[in-house]
Amino acid sequence: MSSPDDWAARIGRRLRLRDLGVLVTVAREGTMAKAAHRLSISQPAVSKAIADLEANLGLKLFDRGPQGVRPTLYGEALLARSVAAFDELHQAVRELDYLSHRTAGEVRLGCNESLAAALLPAVVRTLNDEHPGLTLHVTQMSRPITEEARRLRDREVEFIIARGVFAVPEDDLDVELLFEEPLLLIAGAASRWATDPPNGLADLLTAPWVLYPPGEPPGTLVDEAFRAQGLPPPDRGVTTSSFYLRQQLLETGDYVTVAPRCMLAVFNARQPTVAALPIDLGIALRPVAIYTLRNRTLSPLARTTIDTVRSTSTGLR
């Protein structure tokens, strides 16, 4: 095994940060030409940077083919550490900027639509008062956390606010439970379902439903609720992820749907437009949590934003 002195003499002094940046860009773009365009340098310069890396390490980092390049096993290992290293450097620059300005900076987070509508407005108002120079970048998410976690690993976001299952199987995530809430069966406040409530799910088999797209967790839970009572899942109505469309349909017709409890306050913010129906779906409380990447250093403003999310979420418990 090489000693640290051997590593510094053989590789460390010749491994340039710029070349690692080229490595990351080539992997993301998939071709040398696209990487060159992204970096605003020539393609030969990109090819030379990768060749220098491979020569210094004595390992092949990419497989070349007519459709582009793919990282080898060695390339994947170096990429994982390079992405983390660049992220730490980026966070360091942001921390220096924060220390010099205190109120300025940016935070990137992921959040699904319902939690964004119910939770984030109050968070943003608080942060704007205390950190007027803050820019908050919110990425909307609709897939299960086990799929969306890649955005943490790829450093697209610093943390995610989402519903999930416990315990989360990914061992590189840290999870902080904020609160738990039920999934409610709701209809328009003036609909026949609200004025003459159904006795059970069987009464809603012929109702027009606002359903979720296949594979999205609320929809699968509804299917399970019907099957648990020996009934086929509903299949009439509209399929959408849009809460705005969902609200409009509920307000203007006899549609029914399910939504997390936090959305009742959003739907009824100006006036009572929807109502929860007195039917227990038999669905367990759904946990809402903050997900972060284990061992990743969060920026000071990200930590401040998480603190604000914690304090604001108490009103949704």
CB 283 within 8 A of CB 221: yes
Distances (CA, A) of 305 to 101, 122, 126, 151, 184: 17, 12, 9, 18, 29
One digit per residue, the tens of pLDDT, for the chain of length 317 reads 455 555 555 555 667 778 888 888 999 899 989 999 989 999 899 998 898 888 888 889 999 888 888 999 988 888 888 887 777 777 777 667 666 555 667 899 999 888 999 999 999 999 998 888 888 999 998 788 888 888 998 889 999 999 876 566 678 899 999 999 999 999 999 999 999 999 899 999 889 999 988 877 788 888 889 999 999 988 888 999 888 899 999 988 899 999 999 998 888 888 889 999 999 888 888 899 999 998 888 888 899 999 999 999 987 87
When computed from its CA atoms, the radius of gyration of the chain, rounded to whole angstroms, is 25
Q: How far apart are CA 99 and CA 252, in angstroms?
A: 52
Q: What is the pLDDT of residue 1?
A: 47
- pLDDT value at position 255? 93
In the prediction, which pLDDT does 237 show? 87
Distance (Å) of CA 254 to CA 200, 206, 219: 16, 11, 19
* Closest C-alpha among 179, 188, 190, 197 to residue 277: 197
Task: Work out the number of other CB atoms within 10 angstroms of the CB of residue 34.
Answer: 16
